[in-house]
Structure 1
Amino acid sequence: MTAPSHVLSPLTSTKFRLPRFGLGGSPIGDLPDPAGDAVAMATIDAAYQAGIRYFDTAPSYGAGRSERRFGTALARRPRDEYLLSTKVGRTIDGAPDFSAEGIRRSLAESRERLGLSIDLVLLHDPGEHWQQAIEEAYPVLDEMRAQRDIGAVGAAAGDWQLLDRLVRDTELDAVLLAGQYSLLDRSATPLLDRCQARGVLAIVSGVLSKQVLQVDQSKQTTDPAIILARRISAVCERYGVSLPQAALAFPGRHSAVASVLIGAASQAEIRADAALVRQSVPGDLWRDKELLRLLD
């Protein structure tokens, strides 16, 4: 995990190359007060010490707590050493507001909570409001990008088809996909292919699912996801690779995927995940015929 290196974009002149891994801010926001602030600070510090240089948050993560905690923790770090993204379109209580004024207000409030400049601003899960997001929210961010008020513009959602529509109809720099592209679910491949064709960076989260982290070969099950996880895990073990290790490495094999977000709510958790990231995965694993059949 290395510090970000910026490259020029013909669209914005600020497009960047994201670090391979980042820290997602939802668990940071969910940590309850009053002890949560200290735990969050320690977790973010541990992530930084482990080499993570990309941090993602949102107003609705813990009703603003995530942004405040990231702002406090990262204020002590040189600003040019890391990338920071947050989201607009959802208020601190999660209510949708993709109006032009709502976007400006949300970004101003995020800046106040963070106390930091923001590299990437993401439209947060437009859902059924996707038309308003394109017609009202996106133009505001596009104008801010052109004026260098923000670095880059993207969208975040757990629906790959929604993101695909936004990539097709706007000039995004990045998308953040929650789920739908992992060892156990590759349904978002068409989105990633479109991102690759249009030069849009893809960020993937949710790869360390319950099925990946809690593989138990001894219990009987009819759950297809658990059965698939067990079969993939058995192949990985032949190469000395754990299933979580493979799950973290897999998304980056698609050339559109620039970064994988890891969610963590403790020092121990982020250190364990960072240790998995540092372990190399043998190339022979990805060429294994049984694995290829399972991933087909």
Structure 2
Amino acid sequence: MITPLGLGCAQLGNLYRAMSDDTAAAIVDTAWARGIRYFDTAPHYGLGLSERRLGAALAARPRDDYVLSTKVGRLLVDNPGGESRRDTEGFDVPATLTRRRDYTRDGVLRSLESSLTRLGVDRVDIAFVHDAENHVDEALRGALPALVELRDQGVLRGIGLGMNFNDVLSHFVRNADVDTVMIAGRYTLLEQPALDDLLPLCAERGVSVVAAGVFNSGILASPTPGRTYNYSDAPRDLLDRATRIAEVCARHHITLPEAAIALPGAHPAVTSVVLGASSPKQVESNADRAAVGVPTQLWRDLVAEGLLRADTPVPEEVG
């Protein structure tokens, strides 16, 4: 039931810059109007602000009409004196709460209960264990068995993990009973390391994949100096590579973001591409880009110029 295009809601938590409640609501409204029915959030995003805003924006919609995912692994706890400081993890919010890593069974149950309260719903559909790359054993012993139990009870419809590390996700897929994974930034037009192991493994085991971070945090939106890669300044060699990809796209009258959105969804294991947005206009732009048919020759040219792996599945033939 996940739509091919999903809305990632980190920006609703004031990622990098603040937005108003009205803008946050308008982003969700615009996504809904464009047919998006999958919404992904997390407690980490704005110390709960993203969940509260998303829940408020969806409150009038029938709960069975959309798919909602959130994450576990970071508990939000009171931070005395934090009201006079700002969050230090990329979100423009007061530091009245702080994040505490907790991948135990009790931590998962407490996290989900708090998320339901902030979202104002009686259930979420999917729970991802969030950024557990340095907590593999704890997640395998605590978080994932707890989520399996909730899934078996019908409380959750799907469970999985979300992170930026395809090799660690592969380890979890081999060693845990998961339904889905969210891979951020490791299966994009710029780089495809998830093709080596994670994506074939997921296809073999029937584990669905949500592709996030398809702009590699900015460099594939526009490869100009000052753009970011993995949330840091993009190195020169990657800027050059992205620029060369953009030049090939331009020869086919396709923009770099259009191609960046189109590629990940062509893999048979990928069920949805999740894009964030900082304004309703950006939602519209992303939806328009996702609807563009990319000529097959563009992919062939990228392969011929060493800019795309030859074994990368590409969208169905166009042009």
TM-score scaled by length of structure 2: 0.82
| Structure with a larger share of its residues in helix | 1
- Residue 173 (1) aligns with residue 199 (2): no
- Distance 1:241-1:119 versus aligned 2 partners, 3 A rule: same
Question: What is the CA distance between 1:36 and its match in structure 2?
Answer: 2.3
8 A Cα contact 2:5 2:272, kept in partner: yes
Match of 2:140 among 134, 141, 166: 134
Q: CA deviation at 1:173?
A: 0.5
**Which of residues 107, 112, 117 is equivalent to 2:112?**
107
How far has the Cα of 1:280 moved from its partner? 1.5
Which residue of structure 1 lines up, in the alignment, with residue 85 of structure 2? none
Query: Does structure 1 residue 195 correspond to structure 2 residue 167?
Result: no
Find the residue that maps to 1:212 and give its secondary structure: coil
Q: Cα distance, 1:262 vs. partner?
A: 0.4
Q: Does 1:230 align with 2:247?
A: no
The percent identity for this pair of structures is 40
Three-state SS of the structure 2 residue aligned to 1:105 is helix
Matched to 2:289, the amino acid is L
Conserved 8 A contact 1:286-1:292: no
CA contact (8 A) 1:235 1:291 kept: no
Aligned match of 1:123 in 124, 129, 143? 129
Inter-CA distance 289–138: structure 2 relative to 1 (3 Å threshold): closer
For 2:283, what is the secondary structure of its paired residue?
helix
Q: Are the structure 2 counterparts of residues 135 and 292 from structure 1 closer, same or farther at C-alpha, using a change threshold of 3 Å? A: farther
Q: Which runs of 5+ in 2 are unaligned?
A: 77-97, 226-233, 310-319
Instruction: Quote the offset at 1:222 in angstroms.
Output: 7.7
Q: Which residue of 1 aligns with 2:211?
A: 204
Alpha-carbon distance in structure 1 between the residues aligned to 2:16 and 2:132: 27
Amino acid at match of 1:201: S
Secondary structure of residue in 2 paired with 1:76: coil
Which residue identity lines up with residue 268 of structure 2 in the other structure? S
> Which residue of 213, 216, 222 corresponds with 2:221?
213
Once the 2 structures are TM-superposed, how far is the Cα of residue 33 of structure 1 from its aligned partner?
A: 10
How far residue 143 of structure 1 moved from its aligned partner, in angstroms, is: 0.7
Segments of structure 1 that go 5 or more residues without pairing to the other structure are: 5-17
Q: Is 1:262 matched with 2:275?
A: yes
Q: 1:235 to 1:96 in 2, by over 3 A?
A: same
Map Cα deviations across residues 8-50 of structure 1 (whole Å, 9 max, x no partner).
xxxxxxxxxx211111111111169996211111111111111
The answer (yes or no) to whether the contact 2:222–2:256 under 8 Å persists in 1 is: no
Q: What's the counterpart of residue 50 of structure 2?
A: 66
Q: Is contact 2:166–2:194 with CA below 8 Å preserved after alignment?
A: yes
Contact 2:104-2:142 at 8 Å conserved across structures: yes
Compared CA separation, residues 52 and 291, structure 1 to 2 (3 A)? farther
Does the C-alpha gap of structure 1 residues 200 and 290 become closer, same or farther in structure 2, counting only changes over 3 Å? closer
Amino acid of the residue matched to residue 274 of structure 1?
A
SS in 2 for 1:202: strand
**1:232–1:243 contact (8 Å) kept in structure 2:** yes
CA–CA distance in structure 1, aligned partners of residues 42 and 110 of structure 2: 14
C-alpha distance in 2 between matches for 1:31 and 1:234: 30
Number of equivalences: 277
The letter of the residue matching 1:214 is: S
The 5-angstrom pairing of residues 19-168 of structure 1 reads: 19-30=3-14, 36-92=20-76, 93-116=98-121, 117-168=123-174
For 2:235 and 2:115, locate their aligned partners in 1 and report how far apart those are by CA, in whole Å.
Answer: 45
Per the TM alignment, residue 54 of structure 1 is displaced from its structure 2 partner at its CA by: 0.6
Question: TM-score, normalization: structure 1?
Answer: 0.88
Of 278-287 and 189-198, more deviation after overlay is shown by 278-287
Write the distance in 2 (CA, Å) between the matches of 1:289 and 1:63.
41
1:199-218 CA distance string (max 9 Å, x none) = 1011111112322222359x
Query: How far apart are 1:292 and its partner, in Å?
Result: 6.4
- Given that 1:31 and 1:40 are in contact with CA atoms closer than 8 Å, whether structure 2 keeps it comes out as no
User: What is the CA RMSD across the aligned residues, in angstroms?
Assistant: 2.0
For residue 156 of structure 1, report the CA deviation from its aligned partner.
Answer: 0.6
For 2:92, the equivalent position in structure 1 comes to none
CA distance in 2, matches of 1:278, 1:61: 28
Deviation at 1:95, TM superposition (A): 2.1
User: Structure 1 residues 123, 216: CA separation in 2 closer, same or farther (over 3 Å shift)?
Assistant: closer
Does residue 227 of structure 2 align to residue 184 of structure 1?
A: no
1:186-232 per-position Cα deviation (integer Å, ceiling 9, x unaligned): 11222111111111011111112322222359xxx981211111111
